Structure 1
Amino acid sequence: MSSTETATLSVPGANLSYTVRGSGPVLLLIHGGNGDANVYAGIAEHLAERYTVVTYDRRGYSRSKLDNAAKEYSLETHSEDIHRLLTELTCEPAYVFGSSAGAIIGLELACHYPGQIHTLIAHEPPLTHLLSGDEQVHARHIQENLEITAQREGIVPAIRQFATLLGLDQSNGSSGRPNVEQLERLLANMNYFVMREAPAIRRHTLDLETLKTVWNGASMRIVIGGGRASYGTFPYQCAVALARQLGLEIVEFPGNHLGYVHQSQEFAMRLHIALQD
């Protein structure tokens, strides 16, 4: 098992809790709205044989507390956090993997700090503005219904309904029954995702022209990924649409939107291959 070190980094408005495993080139993993750094524990252990794997709780999630919880949510602020974290850890361009909201944040980092990225893998970024016709209407309905259900019935029913519509196992990747502290953290993360992050993601528009411009002028690689079991879901459709916009072929990964949780060994190997292609 690889050595593990946990530390914190003070950034404007928050303190980021992060964990470093292994040795080699830096590989930063950005989680989505389904938990915190712990969702990557499985693939991090496999990848730490080849990389210095960095996982962290994004601001507002679990151990990365906000100074002002009422401050307006900003995806750009999350990308600024990564910029500061990578600056703290390495002077070399890093490998970056982000899934779901984490993929959008990784793309924002690429727009603003392309020199910090060696290779970015964006796994199923839910950029519904890239869809058209019935696909976009369906995706926006699912997103909006998440917020409506939360307001009418509560956070947990909303998350369950959302997960069912995406065909997801609702496990958060932890084993056994959560203790009181873990349960409180899980519920707080759900609330932050549904009430703060999800509306911002639904409204967000990726600046494709900026992304294309910096990508063409930088040495970074961009890979767009989708789960083999996600075909037909709106995050997969968004990944396909983004790949098409960038003139890329979508790279398939094991499992669905949460393949890295439930098929961690296979997912880690596919991720390593994608980083080296």
Structure 2
Amino acid sequence: MSPTSTAAVHTLDVPGARLHYEVRGTGPLVVLVGAPMDAAAFAPLAELLATDRTVLTTDPRGHQGSVLADPEQDSTPQLRADDLAGLIAHLGIGPAVVFGSSGGAVSALALAQSEPDLVTTVIAHEPPLNELLDDRDHLRANTEEMIATYRTGDVVGAWRKFMANADIMMPEPVLQQIFGGERDPRQTASERYWFNHELRGTTTWEPDIAVLQTTPTRVVIGIGVESTGQLCDRASRALGERIGVTPTIFPGDHTGFVDDPAAFAVRFREVLGSTS
């Protein structure tokens, strides 16, 4: 967290975990969430949105400051949705707009299915819903292969396979720079938990299409303008086709809110204005 952050930092005990969460601003509640991406990644966007809203960010269970009673417990979208429900209820200022990106988008969709009264709008930004795609068997096999590769100790090799499966072009020198050599122990612990206990459950989760078609929660499907042809672009469009929602385009790629939070905040406000 930067020295100029306006966040108040707290923890909340939920079944099986103690969650780290941060709150900024006042006004209607917005939740920004990833999986495995933690609260720190959303901080710049949160600061921009907190000028007129209460913004909640959190480390998902098993990552960074959100510790598990059983470190070997798998993280599922429904468990993470239950965590979000607990946080929203604890703050007592809901219902919320929930923006989830990647695995966090899957968590947000699961929340919309199970606790629609807590969520006015879900913005599901590039959820990796592999099971909605025609090549799901191939993608599932690739996921098992990258997990197996990670467990052999070949971290760079596992990430190389992940990027290939996600249709994300990352030059070998960049892979080596990010995932090779000495790294932050907390980051590697988060990575280890994600490969071993979260990746499979997230990418094989199947949304309840009938529920999402009829839920009172407004469902927005977000896609980065630079993500065309990538796995999450395909999965997001597949979800849109099934529930009858035209995807909404956001700046950047899969992590556009990190790369250019100012532009992302402008688009975020436009989307909220069109869905409120």
Q: d(CA) in 2 for partners of 1:78 and 1:106?
A: 8
CA RMSD of aligned residues (A): 2.2
SS of match in other structure, 1:111: helix
Query: 1:201 offset after TM fit, Å?
Result: 1.8
Q: How does 1:34-183 map to 2 (within 5 A)?
A: 35-132=37-134, 135-136=135-136, 139-163=139-163, 166-167=167-168, 183=184
User: What is residue 230 of structure 1 aligned with on the other side?
Assistant: 227
After TM superposition, the structure 1 stretch with the greater mean CA deviation from structure 2, 204-213 or 80-89, is 204-213
Distance 2:40 2:160 in 1: 20
Check 1:268–1:141 CA distance in 2 against 1; reply closer, same or farther (3 A cut): farther
Aligned to 2:175: none
Is the 8 Å Cα contact of residues 168 and 258 (structure 1) preserved in structure 2?
A: no
- Distance in 2 (alpha carbons) for counterparts of 1:260 and 1:197: 22
Structure with greater contact order relative to length (CA < 8 Å, sep ≥ 6): 1
Provide the secondary structure at the position in 2 that maps to 1:61. Answer: coil
Change beyond 3 A, Cα 1:11–1:143: same
Deviation at 1:160, TM superposition (A): 4.5
TM-score (norm 2): 0.87
Contact 1:124 1:236 (C-alpha < 8 Å) held by counterparts: yes
Residue number in structure 2 paired with 1:259: 256
* SS of residue in 1 equivalent to 2:184: helix
What is the Cα deviation at residue 226 of structure 1? 0.6
Q: Name the CA shift for 1:142/1:260 in 2 (closer, same or farther; >3 Å).
A: farther
TM-score by length of 1: 0.87
Whether the 8 Å CA contact 1:2–1:48 is kept in 2: the answer is no
Aligned residues: 261
Gap change, CA 1:264 and 1:169, over 3 Å in 2? farther
Give the equivalent residue in structure 2 for 1:191. 192
- What CA distance in whole angstroms lies between the structure 2 residues aligned with 1:155 and 1:67? 26
Q: Distance in 2 between matches of 1:12 and 1:145?
A: 31
1:45: Cα distance to partner?
Answer: 1.3
Secondary structure of the corresponding residue to residue 19 of structure 1? strand
Alpha-carbon distance between aligned partners in 1 of 2:138 and 2:49, rounded to the nearest angstrom: 36
Unaligned runs of 5+ in 1: 171-176
Per the TM alignment, residue 246 of structure 1 is displaced from its structure 2 partner at its CA by 1.1
Shift of 1:137: 5.1
Indicate if the aligned counterparts of 2:62 and 2:75 stay in contact, CA closer than 8 A: no
SS in 1 for 2:10: strand
Q: For 2:31, which of 12, 21, 28 is the aligned residue?
A: 28
Pairwise CA distance, 1:274: 1.0
Q: Deviations over 1:68-88 (max 9, x none)?
A: 112343321111111110001
Deviations 1:36-73 (A, max 9, x none): 11111121111111211110001100000001112343
Distance 1:24 1:8, change over 3 A: same
Which amino acid counterpart does residue 198 of structure 1 have in structure 2?
Answer: L
Identity %: 35
